[in-house]
Structure 1
Amino acid sequence: MRFRADRDAFADAITWTARALPARPAVPVLAGMRLDIADAADTLHLSGFDYEVSARASVDVQVEEAGSVLVSGRLLAEIVRNLPPHPVELRVEGSRALLTCGSTRFTLLTLPLEDYPSLPPMPRTTGSAPADVFATAVRQVLPSTSRDDTLPMLTGVHLTFRGDTILLAATDRYRIAVREMWWKPEQADIDASALVPARTLGEFGRALAGGNVDIALSAVGDSAGEGMIGFEHAGKRTTTRLIDSDFIKYESRFPTDFAARAEVPVASLVDSVKRVALVADRSTPVRFSFSSSEVVLEAGSGEDAQAVEALDAKFEGEPMRIAFNPQYLLDGLTGVQSENALLSFVAPTKPAVITGVPSAEGERPDFRYLVMPLRVS
């Protein structure tokens, strides 16, 4: 194998593929990244796989000799991130891969290609969605996933495909984030769901830009890759096994009747929460006192450091005092895309719901965030 490539395009493809490589591979060969160039082709294909997640990327190159090689993926990614701004050349000689970029040269040992597992096939395409909208939706719900592996259901993002709508939902028991978005399905009457590992979905979401993302769900009319979902965008493709667990029935958790509502500028409230939370440790809530024209934020008490800040707000209902984990509240506010956020309350001890301000009365917001308040003495 021998080829030349643009340094930036090569580095981008390598870095993205390396994200799927396991930090502690079950067998040494899974730490490898496979590079393939087919005969009479001018495209380099890169792939990584750990039996759960696969990642594939393609980049145009100037081919002198086709072939395949397996090298340490994380080492290769670290090298290309630090190369000078010159074209990259890579050639394989026996058991070594020689990488040259300007006056910089690296020699990498190759791994046994025959021991590398075959990557799973991409399931049949189920539909496509605007890549930037899908990326935003992933960012909005991802903070609400849990890192507690003892409860697998909480470590995933639940995707519901119903007609021309996708619902993304995530929860860690203390909050629930739901985003509704449009997509173009291959089957107009589709009704399916998938619980996708949050880490994999987040990594792919960060790589999305313009254009469309193709979504392929094996559970829909395709027996290949059972229990798997795939995403493809701009030459980058990933597949992952689904989490085999039932997701909560979250719609019934959202209140429908509220005793009070507050409309507050998102940017101002985010800044205020961050400032007041400086005196709050991880177990200390930020307290909110809502009245007709303002909200007062407080943190700290007694002999501890204290902070108080007042902020203009439109409030409807009886005055209310309620407290939240500041980071949980910030995660919800940063998911709101409108200038103002609408905070809806049932009672100081009941879950609150954060949304954008609807453009029309009774309109269902596309992003909803339910968060549990904290009890304070």
Structure 2
Amino acid sequence: MVNPVRTPSPSTAERPVRFRARHQDLTTALKLTALAVPARPAVPIAGGIVAQAQGRVVKLRASDQEVAVTVSVPAEPGPSGCSVLDYDELKKVVAAVVKGEPKAAAAETVVTVEDGQLSTPHVSVPLTTYPLEEYASLPPTVPPTVTVAGPEFFGQLARVLPAASTDPTQTTLTMTHFTLSGGVLEVEATDRRRVARAEVAAQPRQTMATEPPRSALIPARVLTAIVKHMGKHTGPIGIGIRADDSNAFISLTMGTTEVTIHCEMRDFLFLNPYFPRESHTALTVNRTAMVNATKKGHALATAKGVAAEYVTVTAQWNADGELTLAPYVGDDEEQARVRGVKVPADITHGRGAHVPGATLTLGTGYLLDALSAFSSDTVTLHLGESENGQFRRPVLFTECDAISGEGYRHLLVPVELH
């Protein structure tokens, strides 16, 4: 449970909210605020949403004590006011008042909320309200220190998030690590079997240019929900991180929407030593062929009775440098009779003298996640030296031959066969 920074609540004597807004604007805002409304509130008011009118804007605010969302909705000028409305009921009533109307007409319908009553030109219905003074205070939005492009930010998040652990006993591994340093936002996650690291170009404010790097740990499940609700945002995103002795928050500002997340400031795993500084051998493969071969290998292994979570595929190179990918069925006698799928591959760096005859074994689920994080026609695997005929060191996946990658790197630990 988060102990939020307490902010002055609106006066309990403040008049109930009154505003008029387009149905489409109100519907969109309610969809966005759903991110911060508990699915099963412990008490009814916890499932409420604060509606606060301020001139030509009505702000809808919600918080589940971990995430707070504020959406500003254009509204007709009117007196200020503030109310706590039941979110689930409000969402359903807003949808119900335009049932049966043409889509275009429904979108333009003016919805009026006044004195606990929701009205349109055709119908009117009372709303459930809660005492304003009993609603928990919301954390303040952290002013942005950098701005990033929305599509790049959400695209890189989608690549990194699958690498975070879902094991609740490994709290740190369920986090995503953000680091703001100068003109770069670095995002990384790991579950110890893999590491995903992405970079997003960031335009710092003047004050940020001279400040030390700022970092924060954000629950991956929270970021996954944000991607689901807001991942189509195409405009710029302002990012701010703030920490004090008892609380830490990161805010994302997207147009009329502000999302503030409670985060952790403890140290993340120091992952730099796991990333190779140089490539002993770089192997570029056709990504689609590799995906298809991995899926085929997974299907064959499960057909042979291998439990899905333990399925692996083994990459092997012959004397001519041809790569085959075969399922590992676990029985030495049967394994000797398995013939793999050929995958187009070229050694693009290093002599590769140690590659023929050596094997690389990877879990199919992890391998497919790694390959799906790229959209390029080819992917380059950076391999260390083989040991006793096996590649045991972590394999680095990049979109290009350069070991530094092009904004994204994916590190995967091989499975060691005995």
TM-score, structure 2 normalization? 0.78
What residue in structure 1 maps to residue 270 of structure 2? 249
Q: Which residue is equivalent to 1:50?
A: 64
Q: 2:225: which partner in 1?
A: 203
2:150/2:236 contact within 8 Å kept: yes
8 Å contact from structure 2 (residues 315, 323) kept in 1: no
Indicate the residue corresponding to 2:189 in structure 1. Answer: 170
Show CA shifts across 1:148-176 (max 9, x none).
Answer: 23222112111111221121111111111
2:81 aligns with 67
| Aligned CA-pair RMSD | 3.0
Structure 2: distance between partners of 1:33 and 1:51: 13
* Larger fraction in helix: 2
1:135 is aligned, of 148, 154, 158, to 154
- Cα distance, 1:145 vs. partner? 1.0
Partner residue of 1:294? Answer: 323
Q: Secondary structure at the match of 1:183?
A: strand
The amino acid across from 1:329 in the alignment is L
Q: Does 1:270 align with 2:291?
A: yes
Q: Which amino acid aligns with 2:73?
A: V
Name the SS of the counterpart of 1:218 in structure 2: strand
Partner of 2:28: 12
The alpha carbon displacement at 1:224 in A equals 11
Deviations 1:286-318 (A, max 9, x none): 2222452333242546699x8943221113621
- TM-score normalised by length of structure 1: 0.85
* Distance across 2 between alignment mates of 1:93 and 1:59: 16
Structure 1 distance, partners of 2:292, 2:91, is 37
The residue number in structure 1 matching 2:5 is: none
Give the secondary-structure state (helix, strand or coil) at the position aligned to 1:12: helix
Structure-2 separation of matches of 1:47 and 1:312: 53
Please point out which of 51, 73, 76 is paired with 1:35: 51
Seq. identity, %? 26
Equivalent position of 2:371 in the other structure: 333
Whole-angstrom distance in 2 between the partners of 1:45 and 1:224: 30
Which structure: greater strand fraction? 1
Helix, strand or coil for the counterpart of 1:179?
Answer: strand
The match for 2:11 is: none
Q: 2:249 aligns with which of 228, 234, 245?
A: 228
1:339-354 to structure 2, matched below 5 A, reads 339-346=377-384, 347=386, 348-354=391-397
Aligned amino acid, residue 223 of structure 2: L
CA contact (8 A) 1:3 1:62 kept: yes
Structure 2 residues not aligned, in runs of 5+: 1-16, 303-307
Q: Deviations over 1:11-58 (max 9, x none)?
A: 2221111112223434432211222222xx222211111222211112
Contact 2:240 2:250 in 1 (8 A): yes
Which deviates more, 210-219 or 3-12? 3-12
Deviations 1:312-357 (A, max 9, x none): 1113621332222222122222222433111112242221111111
| Counterparts of 1:254 and 1:194, CA distance in 2 | 21
Offset at residue 79 of structure 1 (A): 6.0
Partner of 1:218: 242
How much does 1:231 deviate?
A: 0.6
Instruction: Give 5+ residue unaligned stretches, structure 1.
Output: none
Tell me the distance in 2 between the aligned counterparts of 1:341 and 1:104: 59
Count the aligned residue pairs.
Answer: 367
